[in-house]
Amino acid sequence: MQRRAIITTVLAGLLTSACATVGPNYKAPTSASLALPGSYASETAPSDPAALQQWWTRFGDEQLDALISRAIAGNLDLAVARSRLRQAREAVTQARADRLPSVGASGQVNQSVDSDGNNGRSYSVGADASWEADLFGGIGRSIEASSAAAEGSAYDLASVRVSIVAEVANNYLQARLAQQRLELARQNLAFADENLQIARWRLQAGLVSSLDVEQARTARAQIAATLPSFEQSFSAAAYRLGVLTGQPPAALTTELNQMRPLPQAPAAVAAGLPADTLRQRPDVRSAERTLAAETARIGVAQAQLYPRLSIGGSIGTSALSLGGLANLLTGNLFSSLSQTIFDGGRLRSQVRSQQAAAEGAFATYRQTVLTALEDVENALVAVRTAEQRQAQFTEALDAARNQAILARSNYRAGLSDFQQLLNAEQALVSSSEGLLTAQGDRTLAIVQLYRALGGGWDPAAPAA
């Protein structure tokens, strides 16, 4: 009769566990609930997810490709994110283990000595098992929450990868841009040296006063003063690349010292629609998984309000010799049903607290969505304005070159004073630097756009 009662209790627990699940069933927010715009303010072509996965290869720079590969393999922030992903996956395994019985075994040897000096020895062996029925789905919700958290950790890893790839590209471009600025400054310095020499010749010939020489010296010194800052910018970018690839800061300095042109960014980048960005951005998908985990934890908290059924048993034997352990086995089987009657409102407060956590996760998710859209909009504007500036500086540089040639010829012939030559040279320097800066800004803005779109990972395999 006892055996039948226990079996009946177990079956009832299993049936109830299969039918009752507390807590809300998670549903991912829809585009309507997020109030997504239909398109970006800047009209763009449909996105190409395949092109986003390895967007840096479109710059056509083998050294950039190699640096990004080394960063993906050796970056320490990525190593930390990988370890966190492994921890999250082990948490899923631990949560699933709660659905299985817990089994243990023990053994004991007792040695005794009486007052007459006689030795006695006894042996005992036992095993026990226990299992808690998931009556109201609390364990199932815990597994659901752990699984969502693990998926979120995979997206966190992808998000770190997206950031690292973009940062490597950004610093590599900064290093090359600093080299181009340094080379341009040296060319301008050569022109300034030539102008200073002309002014000294004319002074020696008595054609001009020493004012021309001093103005030429001033202009030359101002150009020369920019060289150290460009060298510092290059060093800072090179040092950052060393750390990003998991090496000492100066590890890549020699490798990057060789002058190379600024990589050419692709002519256009298709941003697609806001809904495409939400699917592509790993930080957005991580925030959505966090919302799913917090929603599942409401069910975990609610399950604590209901009865808990535990079933267990033990078996054991004891004897005065090892050979006699199998002679007599004893065991018992038991079940218990427990219910909290009064706890001062603690359990219900935990439910309300978890509901608030889920509401906060939803707000965080919405904020992440809006930030992602903002990043894309800003990047699109940055690309467009840089292109406009580049076009204007191209025209300005052409005019400034012609002006400088005429001014230098007139000054040599004595048809104009040094101030006109100085103004023309300053216009040439300004236009040259402006065009180079605009070209660099456009290239950097393209990198910013790729990062804003979530490029640099495979959405089908976030943990790859």
Task: State the pairing for strand pair 308-319/330-338.
Answer: antiparallel
355 located within any domain? yes
Query: Whole-angstrom distance between the N-terminal and C-terminal Cα of the chain?
Result: 57
190 located within any domain? yes
278 located within any domain? yes
Instruction: Answer yes or no: is pLDDT of 396 > 70.
Output: yes
Average pLDDT over residues 234-253: 96
333 located within any domain? no
CA-to-CA distance for 416 and 407, rounded, in angstroms? 8
Stronger pLDDT, 407 or 232, i.e. the higher one: 232
Number of domains the chain is built from? 1
49 located within any domain? yes
Domain range for residue 54? 27-99+145-305+348-452
CA-to-CA distance for 367 and 361, rounded, in angstroms? 10
Stronger pLDDT, 412 or 138, i.e. the higher one: 138
Burial class of residue 277, CB neighbours in 10 A (0-12, 13-18, 19+) = buried
CATH code for the domain of 153 = 1.20.1600.10
CA-to-CA distance for 439 and 261, rounded, in angstroms? 12
Q: Answer whether 34's CB lies under 8 Å from 366's CB.
A: yes
pLDDT tier at 14, thresholds 50, 70, 90: very low
Q: What is the CA radius of gyration of the chain?
A: 37
pLDDT at 87: 96
CA-to-CA distance for 214 and 199, rounded, in angstroms? 9
pLDDT in tens, 173-216: 999 999 999 999 998 899 889 888 988 988 888 877 888 889 88
pLDDT in tens, 204-238: 888 778 888 898 899 899 999 999 999 999 999 99
258 located within any domain? yes
pLDDT at 4: 55
Quick one: CA torsion of 178, 179, 181, 185, rounded to 10 degrees?
130
pLDDT at 460: 86
Which residue in the block uniquely carries the two structure tokens 């400054």? Answer: 185
Question: What average pLDDT is seen over the chain?
Answer: 88
11 located within any domain? no
* Percent of the chain's residues with pLDDT above 90: 58
pLDDT in tens, 149-160: 999 999 999 999
128 located within any domain? no
Instruction: Answer yes or no: is pLDDT of 351 > 50.
Output: yes
pLDDT at 20: 67
Question: Among 95-104, 191-200, 243-252, 410-419, whose mean pLDDT is lowest?
Answer: 410-419
Burial 258-269 (b: 16+ CB within 10 A, else e): eeeebbebeeeb
Tokens of 432: 């040259």
CA-to-CA distance for 374 and 361, rounded, in angstroms? 20
pLDDT in tens, 83-93: 999 999 999 99
Report which of 32, 36, 278, 28 is spatially closest to residue 148, judged by C-alpha positions: 28
pLDDT at 17: 45
Instruction: Answer yes or no: is pLDDT of 5 > 60.
Output: no
